Structure 1
Amino acid sequence: MIQPERSLGEQAIDKVVEIAISSQLDESESLSVNVETQPMQLAQGEVDSVTIDGEGLVLKQDLRVAQLQVKVNDISVNPLSAMFGKIELNGPAMGAARAVLTESDINRAFNSAYISQKLRELKVKRDGKTLTIDIQSVQCQLLSSGKIALDAQVLVRETDSQERIYFTAKPQIDAGGCAVSLQDVEYPENQEFSPDLTVALAAKASEVLDLRNFELEGMSLQIQQLNVEAGLLTLNALAKVVKFPT
């Protein structure tokens, strides 16, 4: 079926929002914005939907997401601003989002300056003593079993010694729906690594997998469902938009 030609108003808003979102990114492989409305609706301040579809998006903290799709519906806007190609919301707009991270994306995040600084000078308790540790390197694997494996090298400052942590865990949505926490930790057969260091690493992994790291200006995401398969982590979320980027 032939798609009806989109109005100049729709196209203008598409481009304005696309440019505004691009300004928040260090780079993107592709990014498109699609506004669905009719001229009469727009004049009355009504927009059917706005869809944002991006691939290979790199945010300011050097965090990368392979795919990000956001669609919000039934949007009430300032009609005067809309006629000039801007979306000013009269109230929050609700919709859905889908984010896909590859194994490479997650490992890139662990090695980014933004996350690396969070992996230094961590305090852990061991045998009644407080130790200061630096997590020096982390390798993450997304397994076909639906689990996540983490392999890390840790420096214990007090003893100037290096220790290794390796475990698999089941990812779960945290209570607030903002992040993914790691539960049901398992070690390789006949091996058990330091539980104190394991807890510290699992906590930091949850910070890396915090969806708030990937939110755009004026947007909040709440994870509804997650799926891990070999090499890919997919997060489906509720999206709330209080303003579109300017």
Structure 2
Amino acid sequence: MTKDDRSLEGQALGKAAEIGIKSQLDEVQEVNVDVDAQALGLAQGKVDSVSIKGKGMVMEKDLRVEDMELQTDSVSINPLSLAFGKVELTRPVDASAHVVLLEEDINRAFNSEYIRSKMQGLDVHVNGKVTKVDFQQVDFRLPDSTKVALSATILDKETGESQPVAFTAKPEIGEGGQRVVLTQVEYHDGKDLSPELTEALLERSAELLDLRNFELEGMSFQIQKLDISEGKLALQTAARVEQFPS
């Protein structure tokens, strides 16, 4: 088999994996899968490496990933699976992955129907009494390389009055590398209207910034490093691939 033939065979496997990935996403701007393998190696169930690059990938909960790159080392596959255009692993493989989230996309997810439905009719202590409140609007910002800024408008359903709550916090790796959690809360003007309002926002943040939201079928991630810049959150992760999407 010629070099060109081998290249075409690898491209066919890559295209099959791309179709599998796209089937798991609500939207995707671009996804490319590169299967680096030679014909003889494929016949023996050996693939030198697999790389996945995606852009504009909309996952569950309306959370959009600006960029995702995943790279494996050598992979052992079932040669018989190739007849069906699939890359079926005979054992799990370790990989590294890089995920980039934009401020505007996190903001959109915060105000999605799914998250907003979980922030309505909450019983909290405000001004010394228990009252039922709705979060009407949430604003998530990444103003610099050290912190996250969160603000929201809160509607008191009993009085009909609205009031703001706003604070900054430090993003850190939490829950065994599965989530980005916000710590070291500092309130604007040093004023804390209600710890429970703050806790509700922190919990929704952790829920959105949970790596399990970004996992494709057969893959799991663990955050190793956070890189924050103005308007952007980048996650360096270790990945475990049990199976490639098909």
Contact 2:55 2:67 in 1 (8 A): yes
Shifted more, 128-137 versus 64-73: the winner is 128-137
Report Cα offsets for 1:141-182 as digits up to 9, x if no partner: 102142000011122334443221100000001132111110
Structure-2 change in CA distance of 1:114 and 1:192 (3 Å): closer
Contact 1:187 1:193 in 2 (8 A): no
| Corresponding residue for residue 75 of structure 2 | 75
SS at match of 2:19: helix
Alignment of 1:32-47 (within 5 A): 32-47=32-47
| Corresponding residue for residue 231 of structure 1 | 231
Contact 1:69 1:98 in 2 (8 A): yes
| Corresponding residue for residue 245 of structure 1 | 245
TM-score computed with the length of structure 1 as normaliser? 0.91
Alignment of 1:160-239 (within 5 A): 160-239=160-239
Structure-2 change in CA distance of 1:224 and 1:190 (3 Å): closer
Structure-2 change in CA distance of 1:188 and 1:40 (3 Å): same
Offset of residue 114 of structure 1: 2.4
Residue identity over aligned pairs, in percent, reads: 49
Count of aligned positions: 243
Structure 2: unaligned runs, 5 residues or longer: none
CA distance in 1, matches of 2:192, 2:125: 17
What is the one-letter code of the residue matched to 2:46?
A: E
Aligned residues: CA RMSD: 2.0
What is the one-letter code of the residue matched to 1:211?
A: L
Offset of residue 67 of structure 1: 0.5
Offset of residue 15 of structure 1: 0.4
Contact 1:45 1:79 in 2 (8 A): yes
Offset of residue 31 of structure 1: 1.1
CA distance in 1, matches of 2:118, 2:89: 36
Offset of residue 119 of structure 1: 2.1
Contact 1:9 1:83 in 2 (8 A): no
Report Cα offsets for 1:193-235 as digits up to 9, x if no partner: 3222112211111111111111111111111111111000001
Contact 1:43 1:83 in 2 (8 A): no
CA distance in 2, matches of 1:148, 1:74: 38
Alignment of 1:107-186 (within 5 A): 107-125=107-125, 130-186=130-186
What is the one-letter code of the residue matched to 2:14?
A: D
Offset of residue 190 of structure 1: 4.6
Shifted more, 156-165 versus 80-89: the winner is 156-165
